[in-house]
Structure 1
Amino acid sequence: MERRAVVLLSGGLDSSVAAAKAVSDGYAIYAMTFLYGQSHSREVESARRVAEFLGAKDHVMVELPPFLFSSSALLGGAEIPTGRNADEIPRGEIPSTYVPARNIVFLSVASAWAENLQAEAVYIGVNALDYS
């Protein structure tokens, strides 16, 4: 039986590397991309291309209601800060790009799919500045 892994794939650098790592680790990958009203829809197309390039067995798009995450700059018209690292963010400040509990919601849905697929791993690529 093939070794299966669910990969949370946004189309960004971190999740694309995580997907490649899963393939390198010998897994057949099952990609999951979340649609929640994020402003960078080009990432969804990138996720599709990465999944295809890496030979994903399946790639599902999971639509979540935008009201769950409506306070983040990633969903609205607010400017998204760039070019700073974790040390430059004042202690206690929550970045405008913070999406409340996003990763735990994503991981919960991915874990349910992984169980249904009898997958033995879930891969997620997150950034130190993600805060969620």
Structure 2
Amino acid sequence: MSTNSDKNKRAVVILSGGLDSTTCMGIAKEAGYDLYPISFDYGQRHKIEIENAKQVAEHYGVSQRHKIIKLDFLRDFGGSALTDDTIDVPNVMNGEAEESEIPVTYVPGRNLLFLSIATSYAEVTGSVAIYIGVNALDYSGYPDCRPEFIHKVEEVIALATKVGVEGKGITIETPLIDWTKAKIIEEGLKIGVPYELTTSCYNGKAEACGVCDSCRLRLKGFEEAGSKDPIPYL
């Protein structure tokens, strides 16, 4: 997971339209990469984030390179509060969130699938890096946000791709992996990340709910960063 700042190199950015992935987009831009964003429509409850991702791609002037991939089978599988309407999103105001367990908002296999497809896009575009906004601190319950997972996927990429076999390789960049939400926001504000174009709410409405786990972490992060969240809340 090296940090490659060489100019005129390309990077795929897994862009959800949320705070973390948009910060990754800004960081990759600051590092001098040409950006190739990729987003996933996997039947998520908060599908509105796809529209946010489009706006972010437009902000960075790379709409023409922005790929949106449909993965409808994740909703068919269910098993997550984000893809299964029979499972409620935890409301922290009612004490429903359980931080000691893997959250019900974990989507089985999501980041494994995202990174596999992003690898394909990286090979085709000649990208040398994939940026993903995984965070092992705030989302420590998600097994596919851990450094161990990222390292193993990098090993697989080296074995399973043409560029890997040829010794060129593709790195997975995870600049946010051990940052607090406040630090993510602080660093993002320094480089002009357009947080007003992002969404984090799991409920997928035009106005964020402010009480789901994702909203709670976002609001806490802005408060600790000494800044006001620019998006509307109910």
Pick the TM interval, shorter chain.
Answer: 0.7 to 0.9
Shift of 1:82: 5.2
The reply on whether 1:122 has 2:130 as its aligned counterpart is yes
Q: Equivalent residue for 1:30? A: 36
Note closer, same or farther for the CA distance 1:52–1:82 as it changes in structure 2 (3 Å cut): farther
Q: Give identity over the alignment, percent.
A: 46
Q: What letter matches 1:73 in structure 2?
A: A
In structure 1, stretches of 5+ residues that fail to align are none
TM-score, structure 2 as length reference: 0.50
Deviations along 1:33-65, one digit per CA (max 9) or x if unpaired, are 001100111100000000110122510111113
Aligned partner of 1:16: which letter?
T
1:64 matched to 2:91? no
Go from structure 1 to structure 2 and tell me whether the alpha carbon gap of 1:75 and 1:27 turns closer, same or farther (over 3 Å shift). Answer: same
User: Which ranges in structure 2 are unaligned for 5 or more consecutive residues?
Assistant: 1-6, 145-234
Q: How large is the RMSD of aligned CA atoms in angstroms?
A: 2.1
Q: Report if the CA contact (8 A) 1:29-1:55 is conserved.
A: no
Moved over 2 A (4+): 65-69, 76-79, 81-84
How far did residue 101 of structure 1 move? Answer: 1.6
Q: Does 1:81 align with 2:65?
A: no
Give the whole-Å Cα distance in 1 for the aligned partners of 2:89 and 2:81: 6
Asked whether the equivalents of residues 69 and 102 of structure 1 are also in contact (C-alpha less than 8 Å), the reply is: no
> Residue 50 of structure 2 is aligned with which of 34, 39, 44?
44
1:6 corresponding residue in structure 2: 12
1:69-95 CA distance string (max 9 Å, x none): 5111001223322559xxx612xx221
After TM superposition, the structure 1 stretch with the greater mean CA deviation from structure 2, 7-16 or 54-63, is 54-63
Q: Give the structure with the higher percent strand.
A: 1
How far apart, in 2, do the equivalents of 1:29 and 1:81 lie?
34
SS of the counterpart of 2:56? helix
